[in-house]
Amino acid sequence: MRALLVGYGKMGRAIEAVLVARGHAITGKFGGRDICLEGKEGKGDLWGSSSDAAARAADVAFEFTAPDAAPSIVPLLLSKKIPVVSGTTGWDVAPAERLAREQRVPFLHSPNYSLGVAALRLGVAAVARSLAPFPAFEPGIVERHHAKKKDAPSGTAKALAAEIEGASGRAGIPIASLRHGGVPGEHLIFFEGDDETVELVHRARSRAIFAQGAVRAAEWMLKSGRTGPVTFEEFFNDASRGGIAP
C-alpha cells in the first residue's frame, strides 16, 4: 500500500510509524504549512508538480488535519480519485460522503480508530437497550482529551450518545467535556440508577492505538474493493467475524 499523509502532526507521525512497521510505502507527507489548496496562496501547493506526483502515486490518503481545513482538503483528494481515510472531527462530513458516492471513490471517516472504542460502542448499545425499560437508569458521558483538541464534545462522545439514543429511545444524552494536559482520550459512560451505577470506560494510553486502527482499516478498505462511503464499524465487524487477517 502506498500512502499519502495529509496532516503531519502527532497523529500523522504515528500513522507513518505504523505504515513503515507494516511494510507500506509513503509517497508524500504534508504538514499544515505545506498545504495550499488550488487557487489559494500559501507556502506550498499540495497539487504542484512534484506534490501532485506524490499524491497521484498514492493508493490512499490519510487525512488528519483540522476542522477548518478538512472540508476543503477531503473533497479535493476525492475529486482526484484518491481514496481517503479521515480522522478529523468537528466538521460536516455529509458533502464529502456525497462526493465519494458520486465519484465511486472509497472514503472512510471515523471520529475514533480505536478497536477498543469500536467494541465499547457495541457494549454501550447493549447496556442501553437492556436498561431502556427501567427509566430510573439515566445515561451520561464524561470525556477528557488533551488541551490542544479543538472540538468539544469529542466526535467519539457524540457517536456514543447516538448509540445510546438509538438503543434506548432517549434523547439529549448529557456530555461533559474536559480539555487539559496531554490525555490522548478517555470516555466514561454511566447509567445512574437510584441506588446503583453501571459504568463503561475506555482510556487511550497512546495515539498508537488510533494509528493502528486507521492503517488496518485502510488495508481492509482497499482490499475489499468497496467504493463510496464506508465505516470503521464495517471494518471492525468484518474483523470480528474473522473476515480479515490481523
If the chain, 246 residues long, is cut into consecutive pieces of 10 residues, what is the mean pLDDT of each piece?
Answer: 93 96 93 54 49 81 93 92 94 96 97 93 96 97 92 92 96 96 93 97 93 96 94 92 63
Sheet holding 2-6, edge to edge: 25-30, 2-6, 60-63, 84-86, 107-109, 229-230
CATH: 3.40.630.40, 3.40.50.300, 3.40.640.10, 3.30.360.10. Which one for 115-204? 3.30.360.10
Q: Which three cell numbers stand for residue 196?
A: 446503583
Give the pLDDT score at 150: 82
Residues catalogued as catalytic? 145, 149
Whose grid coordinates read 489548496?
A: 37
CA–CA separation, 95 vs 100, rounded Å? 9
Question: Please, what's the b/e burial string for 107-127 (b: 16 or more CB within 10 A of its CB; e: otherwise)?
Answer: bbbbbbbbbebbebbeebbeb
Give the pLDDT score at 200: 98
Give the pLDDT score at 53: 75
Nearest 5°: CA angle at 238, between 234 and 240?
115
Domain boundaries, the chain: 2-109+208-240, 115-204
CB 3 within 8 A of CB 24: yes
Give the pLDDT score at 196: 97
Predicted TM-score (pTM) of the model is: 0.81
- CATH number of the structural domain 2-109+208-240: 3.40.50.720
Count CB-CB contacts under 10 A for residue 52: 14
* Type of residue at 107: F
Give the pLDDT score at 239: 87
CA–CA separation, 194 vs 138, rounded Å? 9
Give the pLDDT score at 44: 42
